[in-house]
Amino acid sequence: MKLFRFGCLALLLTGLFGCQKYDEFEKADFESDGAEFAIPLLKSRVSIQELLENFDAYSHVEVDSEGLIHFIYEDEVFTQNADEFFQRIYSTLPPIIPLDTSYFTLDFDTLSDEIMIDLARYKSGVVNALIYSEYEGLINFSMTIHEATKNGQPLAIQMQVMSPIGVIFEGAPLPQGDVSFAVPVEGYELRPINGKVHIEYAALTESGDTLPLEPNHVALENVNIQFSYFEGYFGKTTFEGKRDSVDINFFKEWEQSNVHFENPIIKLDIQNSFGIPTRSDIKEFDALTTNGPSIPLESDFINNGGIDFAYPTLAEVGQSKSTVLTLNADNSNVTDLLSAKPIGIDYQVDAIANPSDNPNARGFITDSSFYTVSMMFDIPLHGRASGFDAVDSFDVDFSDYDVLKEVEFKLVSDNNMPIGIATQGYFLDSTGVVLDSLFDSIGYPIEAAPVGADGIVTGKQTTTTFVTFDAARFDGIRKATKLEVHALLSTTNSGQTNVKVFSNQDVEIRMGMKVKV
């Protein structure tokens, strides 16, 4: 059994096929002539589609209508939500609004430069009336915000307080009320009229007489006010994106290879639920490569003014709209960029709201509004490659084979793929010292199938390889504890010919050994 493991693992070709058939050794038919035993070890078939599937969490394989395999890599680059905008609104909303008249007009549009609010929906918080008076007795006080309504009724505060009330703050009266009369604002809608909100109050004595209050001795207090929705014009605003990077893991496996893709595509998919015109301002979008400087992604779509996002209308609140930008060899440098094997993208993308600065462009923002930018690489397996180096190691133990005279391994491959595999194995002792190699030199025990001028396979390629260890050579690896296998994958003609890889292409490998004892 240990000798079988040696032969099988030596030619695993780092994942091309496996020793999943150990039980076949027990069932094998032995043919012997004196002290020679011919032992079939395995028969395995694998397709290129099976090899590529489940490469990592971000990639998968798709097959087009012609059967051509596409390697797909997808990842989300970044997300921007509405928090920044809402915090800007909250920072301009005064916690206390002094009222200098009993019918006070608040110019809501002046709370923030360039912003004109047509509708705001309260999410949480309370409003409270604060009053200051030296009158002695009971005061019946009411305050109404006429443009804030719920179920058709304006927001109203009713309170009774014993006077005198209030405090002196830095030499001036500061309204001081009883928060127990505060009104929760959840569910109310605020609809300014021509940008104006009207706040009216009345103070009556216990006998019903009007109690005059000094200007600014009454105030509206906003406590932890939050909104869920704004509708109107929000000005030309830049949302500054954070500079960051995203890893592209599958190219890291190809650092030592040469690769060229025919007709690759990069798609940028923008999902946007902000209900306002928005345009990207791409500050940085550079590919970080394995063997050279970063390469900026170049395209007229990116370099000439940015990308306009599709956005939902006022009738589509709660929906998101998709904008897909397809970059190919005709409109960008994507072919050169992917051939450089990017291992990451360094980016900074700002967003400009209302880039045309048109105040008639009314829109909306909700507290759940967002936009995301996702990136997809669509790489058809049409091109050429060489020098894909894969390495793996396996435990071996030859200590029980004292009377072994000779071992001959036979590997037969029927390859329908335009991909050849050169392999070499090294026997290592417990300290990592190389004792010997499996083959005399690196060769192609699995040769690539031939292709025509169109890069399509024209026939099956059968390759037979023998490896013999005599007693003296085998004695030199008897102390080996590891077999380290190196495999180099290249397309037909040592990576000099463009090929197409289809889902129905596969390779069958049969392996056996002849043992003399």
Q: Which of 488, 417, 500 is nearest to 48 (CA)?
A: 417
Ranges 5-19, 201-215, 217-231, 290-304: which has the least confidence: 5-19
Query: How far is residue 48's CA from residue 446's CA, in Å, rounded to a whole number?
Result: 14
Q: Kindly state whether residue 122 falls inside one of the protein's structural domains.
A: yes
pLDDT of residue 141: 92
163 shares a domain with 298: no
Q: Which of 161, 132, 127 is nearest to 144 (CA)?
A: 127
391 shares a domain with 374: no
Query: How far is residue 394's CA from residue 410's CA, in Å, rounded to a whole number?
Result: 20
Tally Cβ neighbours within 10 Å of residue 337: 22
Pick 186 or 113 by higher pLDDT: 186
- Average pLDDT of the segment spanning 185-213: 93
Query: How far is residue 41's CA from residue 510's CA, in Å, rounded to a whole number?
Result: 8
Q: Kindly state whether residue 14 falls inside one of the protein's structural domains.
A: yes
**How does pLDDT run across 435-487, given as a tens digit for each residue?**
988 777 765 578 888 888 888 889 998 988 888 888 888 788 888 888 787 76
Q: Kindly state whether residue 91 falls inside one of the protein's structural domains.
A: no
pLDDT of residue 250: 61
pLDDT of residue 401: 62
Residue 420 has pLDDT above 70, yes or no: yes
Tally Cβ neighbours within 10 Å of residue 282: 20
CB 29 within 8 A of CB 39: no
pLDDT of residue 150: 96
Q: Kindly state whether residue 87 falls inside one of the protein's structural domains.
A: no
Query: How far is residue 388's CA from residue 421's CA, in Å, rounded to a whole number?
Result: 9
pLDDT of residue 52: 61
Name the percent of the chain in helix, strand, coil, to the closest 5.
Answer: 10, 55, 35
CB 93 within 8 A of CB 86: no
What is the token pair recorded at 59? 């990639």
Query: How far is residue 19's CA from residue 15's CA, in Å, rounded to a whole number?
Result: 10
Among 324, 355, 380, residue at a domain's last position: 380
| DSSP β-ladder status, 295-296 and 363-366 | unpaired
**How does pLDDT run across 125-137, given as a tens digit for each residue?**
999 888 888 888 8
Among 380, 414, 439, residue at a domain's last position: 380
399 shares a domain with 367: no
User: What is the chain's mean pLDDT, rounded?
Assistant: 78
Label residue 384 by pLDDT band (50, 70, 90): low
363 shares a domain with 397: no
pTM summary value: 0.66
pLDDT of residue 163: 85
| H helix intervals, 178-231 | none
Query: How far is residue 33's CA from residue 43's CA, in Å, rounded to a whole number?
Result: 24
- Average pLDDT of the segment spanning 345-361: 83
What is the distance, to the nearest Å, from the Cα of residue 320 to the centroid of all Cα atoms in its chain?
Answer: 18
Pick 335 or 389 by higher pLDDT: 335
pLDDT of residue 210: 93
Pick 232 or 14 by higher pLDDT: 232
Among 176, 207, 233, residue at a domain's last position: 233
Q: How many Cα atoms sit within 13 Å of 25 on the Cβ side?
A: 17
pLDDT of residue 253: 55
What is the token pair recorded at 280? 């990207």
Ranges 171-175, 220-224, 269-273: which has the least confidence: 171-175
252 shares a domain with 220: no
pLDDT of residue 15: 38
Query: How far is residue 350's CA from residue 175's CA, in Å, rounded to a whole number?
Result: 43
Q: Rounded to 10 degrees, what is the CA torsion of 148, 151, 153, 157?
A: -70
- Average pLDDT of the segment spanning 200-210: 93
339 shares a domain with 242: yes
CATH of the domain at 330: 2.60.120
Secondary element (H or E) of residue 8: helix 2-10
Q: Which of 467, 464, 462, 465 is nearest to 507 (CA)?
A: 462
Residue 87 has pLDDT above 80, yes or no: yes
Q: Highest mean pLDDT: which of 372-376, 379-383, 400-404, 493-497? A: 372-376
| H helix intervals, 18-169 | 23-27, 48-52, 83-92
pLDDT of residue 151: 94
pLDDT of residue 312: 95
Q: Kindly state whether residue 196 falls inside one of the protein's structural domains.
A: yes
Provide the percentage of residues in the chain whose pLDDT is more than 90: 19
pLDDT of residue 205: 93
Residue 74 has pLDDT above 90, yes or no: no
Residue 14 has pLDDT above 70, yes or no: no
Residue range of the domain that includes 189: 100-233
CB 50 within 8 A of CB 44: no
What total of structural domains would you count in the chain?
Answer: 3
Q: Highest mean pLDDT: which of 14-18, 30-34, 47-51, 229-233? A: 229-233
Instruction: Count each helix (H run) and each strand (E run) in the chain, helices first.
Output: 9, 36
DSSP codes joined into one string, 405-417: -EEEEEEEEEE-S
pLDDT of residue 509: 77
Quick one: DSSP state of residue 270? Answer: E
243 shares a domain with 222: no
Label residue 360 by pLDDT band (50, 70, 90): confident
Pick 1 or 221 by higher pLDDT: 221
Residues 6+ apart with CB under 8 A from 14: 390, 391, 392, 485, 486, 487
364 shares a domain with 245: yes
Residue 169 has pLDDT above 80, yes or no: no
CB 111 within 8 A of CB 235: no
421 shares a domain with 373: no
Query: How far is residue 124's CA from residue 322's CA, in Å, rounded to a whole number?
Result: 31
Residues 6+ apart with CB under 8 A from 421: 13, 16, 444, 445, 446, 487, 488, 489
Q: Kindly state whether residue 477 falls inside one of the protein's structural domains.
A: yes
pLDDT of residue 147: 96
Ranges 6-20, 108-122, 351-365, 450-464: which has the least confidence: 6-20
| Helix/strand/coil (H/E/C) assignment for every residue in 286-312 | EEEECCCCCEECCEHHHHCCCCEECCC
Query: How far is residue 150's CA from residue 493's CA, in Å, rounded to a whole number?
Result: 76
Residues 6+ apart with CB under 8 A from 322: 269, 270, 271, 272, 310
Please give the backbone phi and psi of residue 492, each rounded to the nearest 5 degrees, phi first. Answer: -50, 145
Ranges 34-48, 152-166, 173-187, 446-460: which has the least confidence: 34-48
325 shares a domain with 375: yes
pLDDT of residue 177: 55
248 shares a domain with 213: no
**How does pLDDT run across 284-320, given as a tens digit for each residue?**
888 887 666 788 888 887 777 778 889 999 999 999 9
Q: How many Cα atoms sit within 13 Å of 255 on the Cβ side?
A: 12
Q: Residue-wise over 388-426: b if at least 16 C-beta within 10 A, else e?
A: bebeebbebebeebeebebbbbbbbbbbbbbbbbbbbbb
Q: How many Cα atoms sit within 13 Å of 490 on the Cβ side?
A: 18
503 shares a domain with 426: yes
